[in-house]
Structure 1
């Protein structure tokens, strides 16, 4: 009879040990950092055994970057997005997010069977430094090519390549001419105001677009199919602004709020889905106000310098830190 309590103690110790080991395993795989409904979705880093050089920036966090209609509220509660208004949260805009997401047919990241385990990614900025660099073939050799806004490809293939995996945009910067359509591109909406979500809902529903609430005329037609469109989780932009650029959560009344550029947000996205990140087209010449701002068009650096919406100095300082620490490699 005395052997029974001893056996129970042994079984209890074994059970507790198993629970502890299981907890450690979950912690190491970052499952505790994902809301329950998002565990099934993978960012792509799970399949790679190599630790990315920028791992210390992520602080063990594993964020699925795109919102899904069936659980975006649970994800928002988990990430704290429910307590923050746009542009970096969803508070007071929940109904707009639901409307827009309900028109999308997919919230996936990569195909489950694409066979790529450690993705090499290149984020292609629109900087004039890309001109005459003939990096096109090099850019196309990466597993993932991330571009932004309406940076054109046609006519610039030798310098910027042909492939696009993800293209980040907002309503005022998305292509509207069908000549730029690419069936292999996933376009990702960055939401800064409720009207961005209403725009997406209206344009996919065939409704008339009200252009009054945009800083310049948005696209009036969508050249991409609904299954090619995603909505970026605001937490990605929030990490860029508050953790990496150290922007305050509230700006003084007399100071115009600063927000990250699409380019830096694209780099943040890359850090959450890639094991290796390279950059092209992110260098600017601040000493010459007449130098080319983009690899296309006639805009000059003076327009970037005078832009009060971004803090370009802070971004260039952060990019230099990334390069100096070998977190990323710059091709330009």
Structure 2
């Protein structure tokens, strides 16, 4: 009788191990977290189910980590797609750049107590001029900006705070006047040279190739290495294919179209925030001479001529989100 009981207990134990292992493999959060991830737990407040279904937003660490980069790439299918939306044939460049970063956490230690974040994504549109939204923008838990949209000198209209700033080599600040110690700078990777550029800057390389970029990139990094993160290309892929339904392949005669950094910032926001509001995302296509940005003298004619983004598709998508009350646009008239 004892032998039978022992056999039953052993069999139950084996079954438990098998089932537990299978659950770990099928759960999208099974990968061992880094120390920083343990603090964050990667579990923001759950979005409403209809938002998750419509926007294809599922639990995903938006930042790549050096210790499990290859495993995460396989899990998300990134290892089967080349840049800009995957990692295939660029693994060594990702690993080089990641080796120079200290962590991949989402929020700082002082912020980790709550993930029910109300966020605002601040675009660089000229619609922000003279709107005096600075105080309202600063009142959000998280303020997300992109590229080289300045804060200094424009505080009344765009606020002072920046929690995250998404950038690529050609769009990042190089003047230390724009440095903010409380900002996390997030690299959006489009080509292997972007990663090589980051590694070169953080390694103190003096000679950096610039002819591989569409315009001269920053030649110094004003952010410290512990402030820098690398965005998982899976988020850019969601933005391009699930949101905008951009083609997955382009002919040699076509210029590939990619999402704007602003829309990628929105996808990022929906992964870390419980509420997402927008500001500065409206463009006036009817007036070619209207201001493109809230800063500088560029006009809408530049955006109309742009062949790398489908701005009409993005504006249509944003309108659908607002019509469904999934986002609030602070600059919608």
Query: Do the structures match in fold with TM over 0.5?
Result: yes
TM, length-normalised to structure 2? 0.89
Aligned to 1:277: 276
CA RMSD of aligned residues (A): 2.8
Q: Is the 8 A contact 1:270 1:277 kept in 2?
A: yes
Instruction: Please show how residues 228-307 of structure 1 align to structure 2 within 5 Å.
Output: 228-307=227-306
CA contact (8 A) 2:45 2:273 kept: no
Deviation, structure 1 residue 254? 1.7
Say if 1:291 and 1:206 are closer, same or farther in 2 by CA, change over 3 A: same
The count of residues paired between Structure 1 and Structure 2 equals: 323
Q: Given the alignment of the two structures, is residue 163 of structure 1 paired with residue 158 of structure 2, yes or no?
A: no
- The answer to whether the 8 A contact 1:44-1:110 is kept is no
Distance 1:60 1:110 in 2: 19
Change (3 A) 1:112 1:55: farther
Q: CA deviation at 1:139?
A: 0.4
* Pairwise CA distance, 1:37: 2.6
**2 CA distance for matches of 1:319 and 1:259?**
16
Whole-Å separation in 2 of the counterparts to 1:161 and 1:247: 33
Match of 1:33 in 2: 28
Q: Residue 219 of structure 1 aligns to a residue in which SS?
A: coil
State the match for 1:65 in structure 2: 62
Residue 291 of structure 1, CA deviation? 0.4
- Asked if the contact 2:34/2:67 (under 8 Å) is kept, the reply is no
- Judge conservation of contact 1:45–1:272 (CA < 8 Å) in 2: no
**Which secondary structure does the structure 2 equivalent of 1:145 belong to?**
strand
Of the three residues 79, 82, 86, the one matched with 2:76 is: 79
Aligned equivalent of 2:130, options 129, 132, 135: 132
Task: Give the conservation status (yes or no) of the 8 Å contact 2:97–2:195.
Answer: yes
The 8 Å contact of residues 45 and 275 in structure 1, kept in 2 or not, is answered as no
Q: For residue 54 of structure 1, report the CA deviation from its aligned partner.
A: 2.2
- Name stretches of at least 5 consecutive residues in structure 2 with no aligned partner: none
Distance 1:244 1:47 in 2: 21
Give the match's secondary structure for 1:99: helix
Report the CA distance shift for 1:181/1:112 in structure 2 as closer, same or farther (over 3 A): closer
- CA deviations 1:142-191 (Å, max 9, x no partner) are 11000000000011000000000000000010000010000000000011
The yes-or-no answer on 1:103 pairing with 2:90 is no
The DSSP-based 3-state class of the residue aligned with 1:277 is strand
Q: Alignment partner of 1:168: what SS?
A: strand
Distance 1:68 1:135, change over 3 A: same
Tell me, yes or no, if structure 1 residue 206 matches structure 2 residue 204.
yes
Q: Compute the TM-score of the two structures, normalised by the length of structure 1.
A: 0.89
How far apart are 1:31 and its partner, in Å?
7.8
Task: Tell me the SS of whatever aligns to 1:37.
Answer: coil
Match of 2:321, SS state, is helix
Residue 52 of structure 2 corresponds to 55
Unpaired runs of 5+ residues, structure 1, are none
* 1:314 equivalent in structure 2: 313
Deviating beyond 6 angstroms after TM superposition, the runs of 4 or more aligned structure 1 residues are 42-45
2:237 is paired with a residue whose SS is helix
